[in-house]
Amino acid sequence: MILEEKELKALLEKIISENPGQSLSLGISSSETGSTRFADNAISTNGVTNGLNLSVEVLKGKKKGIVILNELSPEKIRDGVARADAIADVVPENIETMPMLGPQTYPPTPPLYYRQTAEYSPKGRVDAIAAVIDRAKKDGLTAAGFFETSSGTYAGLNSLGQYYFVPYSRAGFNTTFRSEGGSGWAAADEENVEKLAVEVLAERALRTSLDSRGAKPLAPGKYTVILEPAAVADLVAFMMYNFSAREADEGRSFLSKEGGKNRLGDKLLTSKITIWSDPAFAALPAAPLGDDGLPQQKTVWIEKGFVKNLITTRYWAEKTGRKPVSFPPNILMEGGQGSVEDLVGSTEKGVLVRRLWYIRDLNPMILLLTGLTRDGVFRIEKGRISHPVNNFRFNESPVNVLRNIAAMSKAGRAVGGETGQSCFVPALKVKEFNFSSVSDAV
């Protein structure tokens, strides 16, 4: 069930008006998600789920009571407010609880909601997947994957008058094609389902599956590596997830310095790297509100290698005398020129990596990650892809990767294979990428 702004706002205002004198913060969300899964060249599930939640927070100084409801009857709402109030009476104080914000001004963004996505039918997903399966069968391959379309709204209102309303939609498709000894993968997401090129994605996965057959052994070691955008999206996302001012100040991060200081203002990466976020970025728009409902603005995180901003909660900003900076609503990275093929053509000897998988943290002090390559790894010789090679486990830091860049392609929207995070990033040609061992995965 998707609720319209008029009825959402009216409901929130009614709750506030019925509880004068209370410090109330309300949030409400409604969503509808349709998903179709397929495996072994057959559709296995096709269904629709609906969500509805009302969050009620009662604030009493540094104490907060929170109740989540999934029914909107007047009786349930009154009971929820009463329970939140009772919880706020008995919970211990939390020194990090911040006061409510008043009215905010949110910047305009490109459309986040498309009716064609919200109204996309289960049959539409089935028909698209059926064509993918037919394509796999034509070449004797096996296809699996997931096609999801979702839409919803979320809104909030508090006793001081802070109000927001955000409608959204998203369509995402991913598929893996398996051949005898080969595997290929592709994924993409869009706000507008009509921009989702399912056939193109399937063809890409199919081609990689065929090309990756008969992999030859290649020893682990440090290589010049070309990381396609899906792999770059994962590494950059992992770095940005750890861009916390508090962790840096407390000595728990790769951004920490001695004496309780951080690397804000320091040069961390090569001058080629600029990373920012901007909810108004047309190719990857995002919601205009961040932590606690603060407005999101364009924020430069790294500029020509220098750290310009760190994620800073309202509590930590007050404690340290800085301004709050919300978690990035999207991740955008400046690229270079040309394509992945151009990067391959400029490489005398190297390895092409299509996708990363099963990435885990090893050491937050240097942001050392470990993970696996998957679904197509290829040897590059004399500017051409010469043959497929075995998969690897890597032990590497995104910081080192972004220090050792030899070249970049033009940036574009890509979905990380591990995180599922959609980022706007280039492919990277990286020197001295560390493959620590061979993986038996396909």
Please list the residues that pair with 441 across neighbouring strands. none
Task: Provide the phi-psi class of 324: left if phi over 0, else alpha when psi is between -120 and 50, else beta.
Answer: beta
Bridge-based pairing state of the strands 349-353 and 377-381: antiparallel
Residue 282, SS3 per DSSP: coil
Nearest C-alpha neighbor of 119 from the set 194, 58, 54? 194
pLDDT in tens, 180-189: 999 999 999 9
The answer to whether residues 338 and 410 touch, using CB atoms and an 8 Å cutoff, is yes
pLDDT in tens, 306-345: 999 999 999 999 999 999 999 999 999 999 999 999 999 9
Residue 11, SS3 per DSSP: helix
Residue 155, SS3 per DSSP: strand
Please list the residues that pair with 270 across neighbouring strands. none
Bridge-based pairing state of the strands 306-307 and 299-303: antiparallel
Residue 344, SS3 per DSSP: helix
* Structural domains for the chain: 5-205 (3.30.2290.10), 214-442 (no CATH)
Which two tokens mark 261? 């200081």
Q: Is 257 exposed, middle or buried (0-12, 13-18, 19+ CB in 10 A)?
A: middle
Cβ neighbours of residue 11 under 8 Å, at least 6 residues apart?
28, 72
Which two tokens mark 416? 């990380």
Query: What does the alpha-carbon distance between residue 324 and residue 292 come to, in Å, rounded to a whole number?
Result: 10
Which position has the token pair 């006061």? 99
Which position has the token pair 């951080």? 262
The answer to whether residues 387 and 216 touch, using CB atoms and an 8 Å cutoff, is yes
Query: What does the alpha-carbon distance between residue 355 and residue 353 come to, in Å, rounded to a whole number?
Result: 6
The H or E element containing residue 147 is strand 142-158
Q: What is the pLDDT along the chain (442 residues), one digit of tens a residue?
A: 577 899 999 999 999 999 999 999 999 999 999 999 999 999 999 999 999 999 999 999 999 999 999 999 999 999 999 999 999 999 999 999 999 999 999 999 999 999 999 999 999 999 999 999 999 999 999 999 999 999 999 999 999 999 999 999 999 999 999 999 999 999 999 999 999 999 999 999 999 999 999 999 999 999 999 999 999 999 999 999 999 999 999 999 999 999 889 999 999 999 999 999 999 999 999 999 999 999 999 999 999 999 999 999 999 999 999 999 999 999 999 999 999 999 999 999 999 999 999 999 999 999 999 999 999 999 999 999 999 999 999 999 999 999 999 999 999 999 999 999 999 999 999 999 999 999 987 7
* HEC string for 196-251: CCHHHHHHHHHHHHHHCCCCECCCCEEEEEEECHHHHHHHHHHHHHCCEHHHHHCC
Bridge-based pairing state of the strands 428-439 and 391-396: antiparallel
The answer to whether residues 65 and 141 touch, using CB atoms and an 8 Å cutoff, is no
